Amino acid sequence: MVHLSDMKKPINCTVIGDGMVGKTCLSEVFSGLSMPQEYVSTVFNNYAGNSTVGGDKYVVSVFDSAGEHEYTELRSFSYKDSEVLLLCFSVSDRDSFESIKEFWAPEVKDFLGKRVPIIVVATQTDTRSTLGGVSVSNDEGHKMAKEIGADRYVECSSSDMESVQRVFENVVLTALKQRKKMGNIFRRVLGR
């Protein structure tokens, strides 16, 4: 039996990035579904999964958005309810990496300013060793995340559940930090 005191407010995040970088795989594996075997373009899907941080269980609601640049208006609806944004690129697709700096970070800034924390997520890390010098390195990912003002940088492969869980543990930690920050701001404004 679940007691009300055991329930926590769900944490909402939106997963964005170019098409075919593994956003849907990441979302589906986290939510307990099997990894899709073929690519199907996403317009909008919603998933939920559980993450345990510090012994506490959290439900993370994941909005999987369209990777096509022309769906900006549709994506903007999920931005307003998100506590954390995951900006994803594939380590095996340098164009998707560049797109984070050139398209996704500016789009997010246009809609939200700096109100919502960003985690840059490098996906498909299991392909890095097979590509040699063509793939995006861990150092390049960290550097770019810092350049765009992201709160965190995480790498994962949807075929490695531990790395998928690590992504969403970071979502929880980032959301809790943001909630605490907002609570402190409200207390200062209200003089309490």
33-91: pLDDT as tens digits:
555 555 455 555 788 999 999 889 999 999 988 777 766 676 777 788 899 999 999 99
Here the tokens at position 186 are 């409200």
End-to-end CA separation in angstroms for the chain: 36
151-174: pLDDT as tens digits:
999 999 999 999 999 999 999 999
The number of distinct structural domains making up the chain is 1
In this structure, is residue 105 part of a structural domain? yes
5-42: pLDDT as tens digits:
445 678 999 999 999 999 999 999 999 855 555 545 55
107-156: pLDDT as tens digits:
999 888 778 999 999 999 998 876 566 899 999 999 999 999 999 999 99
In this structure, is residue 2 part of a structural domain? no
127 burial via Cβ count (<10 Å: 0-12, 13-18, 19+): middle
In this structure, is residue 60 part of a structural domain? yes
Residue 103, domain extent: 8-190
Query: Beta partners for 155?
Result: 122
Here the tokens at position 100 are 């984070």
In this structure, is residue 121 part of a structural domain? yes
In this structure, is residue 94 part of a structural domain? yes
The one-letter amino acid code at 61 reads S
**Dist CA 138 CA 100 (whole Å):** 15
Query: Beta partners for 1?
Result: none
Where is 85: in which H helix or E strand? strand 84-90
Q: CA distances (Å), 84 to each of 35, 165, 179, in order?
A: 23, 16, 11
CATH no. for residue 149?
3.40.50.300
Helices of type H across 31-104: 72-79, 94-99
In this structure, is residue 1 part of a structural domain? no
In this structure, is residue 150 part of a structural domain? yes
Helices of type H across 113-160: 128-131, 138-147
In this structure, is residue 98 part of a structural domain? yes
